[in-house]
Amino acid sequence: MSALPRARDLGLIGCHVCGLVCRDVGRHDAACPRCGSALHRRKTASLARTWALLIAAFILYLPANLLPIMRTVSLGDVDDNTILSGVIELWVKGSPDLAVIVFTASIVVPMLKFLVLATLLLSARSGTDWAQRQRARLYRLVEFIGYWSMLDVFVVALLTALVRFNFLSRVEPLPGVVFFGLTVVLTMLASMSFDPRLIWDGRTNDD
């Protein structure tokens, strides 16, 4: 059975902003008739931009895990925690379910996003037809779980705002949480920059 035609084969182009399907007039300055946004067959320099954002996110992910993200002061006892030490402390203190959630959102999810996006970029650049449906599902999975990576940042922000008892107990954010937040934002931007239609193109460029 022959492959189904793509939108570009039918002379159609979708607006990246509002989703309206328009007739491809072949002009570089074409605009969407509904929202006025510029129309592109594919996102310009999608692969290069996604690689740049992904590499920057990975570089920031290293200090995000090595530096402490939160300082807990309780009865004069000061305790600085990295992401991993915080997970271990939750497990030891009788909250294994919360430890698993934090570990999944802060360690597993970012690493999964790095691996999946790198795989999508390499396969799109090579123009392979390998597992196209599976790669498309992986991309949708990355977009779906991306926002959950912010769990650690939310936890630190909530604890900082709620735990305020001066000398008895308080929580302070540390530099690690800034690097982690930047990592999450950059990976989200990387997934948004990648054009999933390149999976089906089998092209060697994305102009």
pLDDT in tens, 117-161: 999 999 888 877 787 888 888 888 888 776 666 665 666 666 555
Q: What pLDDT, on a 0 to 100 scale, did the predictor assign at position 145? A: 77
- Whether 22 and 51 map to the same domain: the answer is no
* Dihedral angle sign, alpha carbons of residues 16, 17, 22, 23: negative
Q: Does some domain include residue 197?
A: yes
Instruction: Give the start-end residues of each E strand in 19-143.
Output: 21-23, 70-74, 77-81
pLDDT in tens, 160-197: 555 555 555 666 778 888 898 888 889 889 988 888 88
Q: What pLDDT, on a 0 to 100 scale, did the predictor assign at position 44? A: 78
- Whether 14 and 70 map to the same domain: the answer is no
- Average of pLDDT values for 28-43? 81
- Whether 65 and 24 map to the same domain: the answer is no
pLDDT in tens, 101-119: 778 878 888 888 899 999 9
- Whether 35 and 66 map to the same domain: the answer is no
- What is the average pLDDT score of the chain? 79
- Whether 51 and 141 map to the same domain: the answer is yes
**What's the CA gap between 24 and 12, in Å, rounded?**
5
Q: Does some domain include residue 207?
A: no
* Enclosing H/E stretch for 13: strand 12-14
pLDDT-based confidence at residue 203 (cuts at 50, 70, 90) = very low
**What's the CA gap between 87 and 103, in Å, rounded?**
6
* Enclosing H/E stretch for 170: strand 169-173
Residues 6 or more apart in contact with residue 30 via CB below 8 angstroms: 13, 22, 24, 38, 39
Whether 110 contacts 153, CB under 8 Å: no
What's 193's domain CATH number? 1.20.140
Pull the structure tokens for residue 138. 């992986």
| Total-model pTM | 0.76
H helix and E strand count, the chain: 8, 5
The C-alpha angle 33, 38, 39, rounded to 5 degrees, equals 80
Q: Does some domain include residue 77?
A: yes
Q: Does some domain include residue 206?
A: no
**What's the CA gap between 32 and 77, in Å, rounded?**
60
Number of folded domains that form the chain: 2
- Whether 22 and 114 map to the same domain: the answer is no
- Whether 18 and 68 map to the same domain: the answer is no
pLDDT-based confidence at residue 204 (cuts at 50, 70, 90) = very low
Q: Structural domain of residue 3, as residue ranges?
A: 1-41
Q: Does some domain include residue 180?
A: yes
Q: What pLDDT, on a 0 to 100 scale, did the predictor assign at position 177? A: 82
- Whether 36 and 88 map to the same domain: the answer is no
**What's the CA gap between 66 and 145, in Å, rounded?**
23
Q: Does some domain include residue 144?
A: yes
- Whether 12 and 61 map to the same domain: the answer is no
Statement: residue 6 has pLDDT above 50: yes
- Whether 53 and 98 map to the same domain: the answer is yes
- Whether 149 and 51 map to the same domain: the answer is yes
- Whether 74 and 159 map to the same domain: the answer is yes
Q: Does some domain include residue 55?
A: yes
pLDDT in tens, 68-79: 887 777 666 777
